[in-house]
Amino acid sequence: KIISLLILQYAGKSIKIFNYSIQYPKLLKGYRNIVKKLNIWDNQQETKVYWNKDIWVGSSETIRNNKSIYFLERISPHIPKHKKLLNDTELGYYLAGLIDGNGNIDKEIGRITIYYDIKDISSAYMLKEMIGYGSILKIKNGVKYVISNNEGILRVITLVNGKLKLKYNQVIENVLTKNQLVNYKWNEIEFKKGDIKDFNNYWLTGFIDSNGSFQIKILNKLGQKLPEIKLKLQISEVPTRTSYGVENREILEEIRKFIININNDKIITVRGGGINIGIRKHILDSGETSLSYYWETSSFRTIKNVICYLNKYPLQSSYKYINYLYLYKAYLLVQNKEHLSIEGVEKIKKYKKNMR
């Protein structure tokens, strides 16, 4: 079968057509080769690729009309500054992401707990200062931020109203049906669930701060002069289901779609579009097994989209932000093709070594 590729380099200018003969058993491999050829076709003109029946079409005019940040702009060489949350709306979305990721609302007394790595203790105190209630307690390998008084619980629930995507039912069943908030007239306020497809806010930042990690992989392969460089965001230890039986893979799929299509254009992708969702088995101290999902980027294109998002909605975790900056610097080297030189690889190795 012959697949034709038609590339519109600039509107009204030259048209390039490529033909590829692909045997059916090698169809997916052929698609990947096509994408690779398109990516290296012209280092100066970055072109978006669409699947349209029998042809892939790339159009710079389409991108300009849509004001895309996806394949249109190069990532700025200026390292982004660490920006704090500005208001209760931003705080509410961020807090909802934290609770959905690594928080809990106690079913006995409605106590709200958010867990932190010990390296991130400063972020716990920052959140406590912004909310105005609660206490920080040390636990094994970390700390927990606990809010147990009625005023503090009401403050948090007010902030996350309409923003929680996964643990909405914990609020309904563990807090709103309890008597401790009756005196605060909470029963007169309608608590709403967050839109599972809305990520144009700080929710995903909070989710990444709770369960995310930034990784630089340097893979040496036999017969190759230079190692393969991989830049990853991984979100791990996401339970397969909530305590209420809600399937959590759905939220990971929606995050995948959002990151892949961050410019709001519909693109058909091969093998998940550069993002993998997998499942891991954990052996508990009791000997029982537990399953959890992980979500990770697997291409430079998708890590670029993550950077685009986080430049708009910056991380609040202090140590994860530092790791993100090293990944950001590594991506700049990749963007300039410096990872294809020995000097560039050595720089990336230093960035990896400095990550916490």
Per-residue confidence (pLDDT) for residue 33, from 0 to 100:
53
Measured between alpha carbons, how far is residue 72 from residues 69, 174, 346, 350 in Å?
Answer: 5, 47, 29, 29
Together in a domain, 215 and 104: no
Together in a domain, 142 and 210: no
More confident residue, 82 or 314: 314
Together in a domain, 307 and 173: no
Together in a domain, 234 and 329: yes
Together in a domain, 295 and 176: no
Q: List helix spans (H) across the chain.
A: 27-41, 60-66, 88-102, 121-131, 150-160, 168-171, 203-211, 249-260, 300-312, 318-335, 342-354
In 3D space, the residue among 119, 105, 95 whose CA is nearest the CA of residue 202 turns out to be 95
More confident residue, 350 or 246: 350
Domain of residue 229, residue span: 203-354
User: pLDDT > 70: what percent of the chain?
Assistant: 71
Confidence bin at 253 (pLDDT 50/70/90): very high
149 token code pair: 């008084």
Per-residue confidence (pLDDT) for residue 264, from 0 to 100:
55
Which residues are within 8 A (CB) of 291 and not within 5 positions of it... i.e. 6 or more apart? 239, 240, 279, 280, 281, 282
More confident residue, 12 or 237: 237
Count helices and strands in the chain by DSSP H and E runs: 11, 12
Residue 80 lies in a domain: no
8 token code pair: 């519109």
In 3D space, the residue among 203, 122, 125, 197 whose CA is nearest the CA of residue 160 turns out to be 203
Together in a domain, 32 and 57: yes
3-state secondary structure at position 229:
strand
- Please state the rounded mean pLDDT for residues 119-130: 94
Together in a domain, 307 and 212: yes
3-state secondary structure at position 296:
strand
Residue 193 lies in a domain: no
